[in-house]
Amino acid sequence: MGATRARIAIDAMGGDYAPTEIVAGALRAREELGVEVLLVGDPQQIKPVPHQNRLDQIAIIPAEGTVEMHEEPLSAIKRKPKASINVAMDLVKQKQADAVVSAGHSGAAMAAALLRLGRLRGIDRPAIGAVLPTMIASKPVLILDVGANVDCRPKFLEQFALMGTVYSQYVLGITAPKVGLLNIGEEESKGNDLAVRTYQLLKENKQISFIGNAEGRDVLSGRFDVIVCDGFAGNVLLKFAEAVGEVAIQILREELPQGLHGHIGTALLKSNLKRIKQRIDHAEHGGGLLLGVAGVCIISHGSSQAPSIFNAIRLAKEAIDNRVLERIQSQNRGVNLEVKDQGSEVRG
């Protein structure tokens, strides 16, 4: 486990701050995490970034262009075989890299992963998982899907629960992760058609610890380790959660200076504010893992800067070191995880 250095292909051209911030995050990860990074993109744009002297020992894998945010992902991925995200995926396919990290067009990253790497056996639809902090500081919650599949069938959500359980257990280090179904009430009969039918599947599945419905108010309670939902509800929730952190900080800033001694308090609290922001900031959580494709793929925010990229690479390293893909496949075939621990179907 971790005997060889994890090799991470970085889509250096994807994201609002590419390539400068992407490269900066990759450089830091290389130095602090001991991973090997492969920067994929246009060498002419990558080389002039700040700290270029630190680039000397890093492989730059040439690519031509990138998928733009306004492009329809699937057709763009097919039309631009040498786009940075495609080249990065190919590195994994050719076993020259163990994972891909991209802050570019998330739909394009998913399309590229599906077309170049394919799905894991037994998985109908890959899902994007996102980790949120909860009221209990040491207990994050994994939510999936947060955007890959907007219209879902019950068995997709069941597969999300299986994949989420493995991820929670082996990357987040949670023993027997408690799984919840995002819903609008506690009772088994509550919810839309999808939720009602999914409840039955989850209840009967012996491979997961399903503890019932998770309402909106339960998401951050720390009671659930994994929450499954369709990609529409999950995406709305994730983006709302991210924004609400900023709203909370803003309300704090507006409200604190008021009152008798408020302004004194505010001055004293500057450093505290920074720490609070850190705790709720999505940049600290790195990005979403695309679960269910035959490769480790981390999809970061388009707005990612160096700290997010660093954390995304750390996430990728955890997934590699803990052989998440193999475990998902084992779990999904109903095979005892420990028995399959010695295998290496996916990473070869």
Cβ at position 237, least distance to a second copy in Å: 6
Range list of H helices, the chain: 20-33, 43-46, 73-79, 84-93, 106-116, 154-170, 193-204, 231-255, 262-280, 306-321, 324-332, 337-340
Residue tagged 């492009």 (tokens): 71
Determine, following the binding rule CB under 8 A, whether residue 72 of this chain makes contact with a second copy: yes
Q: Which is nearer to a second copy, 95 or 279 (CB)?
A: 279
Q: Which stretch binds a second copy (CB under 8 A): 58-66, 185-193, 199-207, 324-332?
A: 185-193
Q: Which is nearer to a second copy, 207 or 266 (CB)?
A: 266
Q: Which is nearer to a second copy, 84 or 235 (CB)?
A: 235
Rounded to 10 deg, the angle between the 106-116 and 84-93 helix axes is 40
DSSP string, 10-75: EETT-STTTTHHHHHHHHHHHHHH--EEEEEE-HHHHTTSTTGGGGTTSEEEE------TTS-HHH
Spell out, one character per residue from 239 to 268, where the chain touches a second copy: x when CB under 8 A holds, - when not.
Answer: xxxxxx--xx-xxx-xxx-xxxxx-xxx-x
Q: Which is nearer to a second copy, 213 or 329 (CB)?
A: 213
Residue 93 and residue 236: Cα distance in Å, rounded?
32
Q: Which is nearer to a second copy, 51 or 253 (CB)?
A: 253
Determine, following the binding rule CB under 8 A, whether residue 32 of this chain makes contact with a second copy: no
Of 110, 123, 142, 238, the one binding a second copy by CB under 8 A: 238
Residue tagged 């400068």 (tokens): 20
Of 8, 22, 179, 233, the one binding a second copy by CB under 8 A: 233
Residue 46 and residue 31: Cα distance in Å, rounded?
18
Cβ at position 270, least distance to a second copy in Å: 9
Residue 18 and residue 170: Cα distance in Å, rounded?
31
Cis ω before 42 (30° cut-off from 0):
no
User: Six-digit token pair at 289?
Assistant: 């893992």
Size of interface with a second copy, in residues (CB under 8 A): 63
Determine, following the binding rule CB under 8 A, whether residue 281 of this chain makes contact with a second copy: no
Q: Which stretch binds a second copy (CB under 8 A): 78-86, 120-128, 164-172, 210-218?
A: 210-218
Determine, following the binding rule CB under 8 A, whether residue 176 of this chain makes contact with a second copy: no
Residue 334 and residue 97: Cα distance in Å, rounded?
28
Binders in 37-56 for a second copy, by CB under 8 A: none
Of 15, 19, 129, 147, the one binding a second copy by CB under 8 A: 147
Determine, following the binding rule CB under 8 A, whether residue 135 of this chain makes contact with a second copy: yes
DSSP secondary structure letter of residue 101: E
Give the interface with a second copy as residue ranges (CB under 8 A): 70, 72, 134-135, 137, 147, 150-151, 182-184, 187, 189, 191-193, 195, 215-221, 229-233, 235-244, 247-248, 250-252, 254-256, 258-262, 264-266, 268-269, 271-272, 275-276, 279-280
